Every structure is written in C-alpha cells, then in structure tokens.
Homo-oligomer: A and B are copies of this chain.
Amino acid sequence: MRIALLGGTGDVGEGLALRWGRDTDHELLVGSRDPEKARDAAESYAAAVADAGGEADLKGFANGMAADRADVVVLSVPPYHVADTVESVADVLDGEDVVVTPAAGMKRDDDGFHYHPPSAGSVTALVREAVPDPIPVVGAFHNLAAGRLADLDADLGVDTLVLGDDADAKGTVSRLAEEIDGLRALDAGGLANAAEVESVTPLLVNVATNNEGMHDLGVRFL
C-alpha cells in the first residue's frame, strides 16, 4: 500500500514513517510543502530505520505529489493547517483514497492543556468538512506521543482509537495501525465521537506534567 504522510517532516509524521518503515513493506511518501525538505526527511528516516535493522521504502515529495500517488493520505500537520493542507491536495484525491487525521486541537493556560476544538466541533469534523464528500475520512493516531513513536528503541504497548463512518476505510486504517509493533487499534465509533478521542491528547500532557517519571504517555483500555 502507498501511504502519504503530508507534513511528514513534523514529529507525528516522522514517528509514523519510522514505525511503518521498520515494521511494514508499505511504500511511504513523505510530503512537505517544500519537496527538498521532504526528500531530506525521507533520507534521514530511511537511515534511522536502517540503523534499527529495517529497510524502509521511503521517498520525499511535495504534498500534492505524495497525495496523488497514495492510497492512504495522513494529514500529519498541526490542527490549524489541516484545512489548507486538504485544500492544497483536494484536486488529486479520488474516491479510492482514504484520508486519515491524527490532529487534536489544544490550548495551554496556567493550569495545563485543554481541549480546544475548532468551531466544526473537532479537528476530525473540520477535516470531514474540507475533504470532498465521496472520499472517506478516518480519525486515528491522535493519542500517540510523537517522541515515543519516533524512538524506535521504545516499546509502544498502547492503543490508538479509530473513528470513521465508512467501515471499509476504517478497517484499512485499523489494519495499518496494528501492523505497527505494540500498537492496538480500537474502534471508537463514528466521526461524531471524535471530540472525546481528541480530548485525550491534552489529558496525556497534563498527566505527564503532574506525575514524576511519566513522559511521552500513551493510553491503554482494559
């Protein structure tokens, strides 16, 4: 399968590229607005995977080119960039593609981090509004600490919650998630349930901040 990581030079994109690069044979297309930056990142990720004993199929492209070639398009960009990133690639998406959104809206104040969704109700809902209608959107990978994901020496042993209204697309993304060693995919229902999933991201930061020895936290349901 061909997976595009738009904004793949950022930390979540890096983590997913390294994990899929080491643990699967998928063709990984690192996207960036700057194709030179994307190529540099792809080269550096491939070297990190090789250091970990793997062999990754990783190449860098401009976001539009990566999206055009991919079957699954991951919007690994900050929440305030999801709408314009989708707009920049909307022409090359087709009904066979699946768009995946891992972003959660947060704001920080003196007390800690708080869930701060866009007016659509969640970042996932914002992506659903931005992506042309027949193309399925799936929410996943929201609650993974980027630093732990990108550290190939770190065991994951955590869950990721998958949201979607299209069962086939949700199944595809769940399988991709479970191909990552130590990651379990759980179904959290339809896109309308996204706010409760995205809210876990600021919660993880608050728990890490307030408990000694805890950092790069994930969550497990049991």
Q: Find out whether the CB atom of A193 lies under 8 angstroms from the CB atom of B112.
A: yes
Interface of A: prevailing SS? mixed
Partner of A186 from B112, B197, B207 at Cβ < 8 Å? B207
Which residues of chain A from 164 to 222 have any CB-CB distance to chain B below 8 Å in the complex? 186-190, 192-193, 195-197, 199-200, 202-204, 206-207, 209-211, 214, 217-222
Partner of A206 from B189, B199, B210 at Cβ < 8 Å? B189
Number of copies: 2
- Is A153's beta carbon under 8 Å from chain B? no
Name the residue on B nearest A185 (C-beta).
B211
Interface size counted on chain A using CB atoms at 8 A: 36
Q: Find out whether the CB atom of A221 lies under 8 angstroms from the CB atom of B204.
A: yes
A220 proximity list for chain B (CB < 8 A): 219-222
Complex CA–CA separation, A189 to B221 (angstroms): 22
Partner of A196 from B115, B158, B209 at Cβ < 8 Å? B115
A207 proximity list for chain B (CB < 8 A): 161, 186-188, 221
- Is A69's beta carbon under 8 Å from chain B? no
Complex CA–CA separation, A189 to B210 (angstroms): 6
Q: Find out whether the CB atom of B157 lies under 8 angstroms from the CB atom of A196.
A: no
Q: How far is the CB of A121 from chain B (nearest CB, A)?
A: 10
Partner of A193 from B114, B197, B211 at Cβ < 8 Å? B114
Name the residue on B nearest A196 (C-beta).
B203
Q: How far is the CB of A161 from chain B (nearest CB, A)?
A: 7
Name the residue on B nearest A209 (C-beta).
B189
Q: How far is the CB of A190 from chain B (nearest CB, A)?
A: 5
Given contacts A188-B210, A199-B199, list 15 more A-B pairs with CB under 8 A. Answer: A111-B193, A112-B189, A113-B193, A186-B210, A187-B207, A189-B209, A189-B210, A195-B199, A196-B199, A196-B203, A200-B203, A214-B221, A218-B221, A219-B222, A220-B220
